[in-house]
Structure 1
Amino acid sequence: MKVMIRRDSAGKLSVYVPKKDLEEPVIEQEKDDLWGGTVRLANGWLLGLPEMAADTRLPITVEARRLEGD
């Protein structure tokens, strides 16, 4: 699914899912550089993110895989 990942002025990551009109903060991430790992959203979803360069600029729209969660 397509998701937009962005960082707010306080440095917190959030994920927006346009098809669901859903925006949730990231509460846990597998890798410090974000890419190629998983992130858990506040609503319980676990998303797999694609491999990208560590210095990829945000905001960005990527193809993520929903792995588990309500």
Structure 2
Amino acid sequence: MLDVVGMLIPEVLTKIGLTNVLLWYNVGKAEYIASFSTLFVIEFILFKKILSKKEQLLINHELVHHLHCQSS
């Protein structure tokens, strides 16, 4: 329900003239600082970096847990 409120309130405020924001269905049409493909590649690289870091933390945690269980 908050999603609907988040879409409708800015639209109503823009229609009555209190704000000047893009409507939720026109946001994707706005011009960005880079092309779509550039943004996609940057996002892909950042997500890959984050996921590989999480994977390394998981592997290290399992290794520490495994070594701790063997020494007991």
TM normalised by structure 2 equals 0.17
* Structure with the higher helix share, 1 or 2: 2
* Structure with the higher strand share, 1 or 2: 1
Q: Which has the larger radius of gyration?
A: 2
TM normalised by structure 1 equals 0.17
- Compare relative contact order (CA 8 Å, sep 6+) and give the higher one, 1 or 2: 1
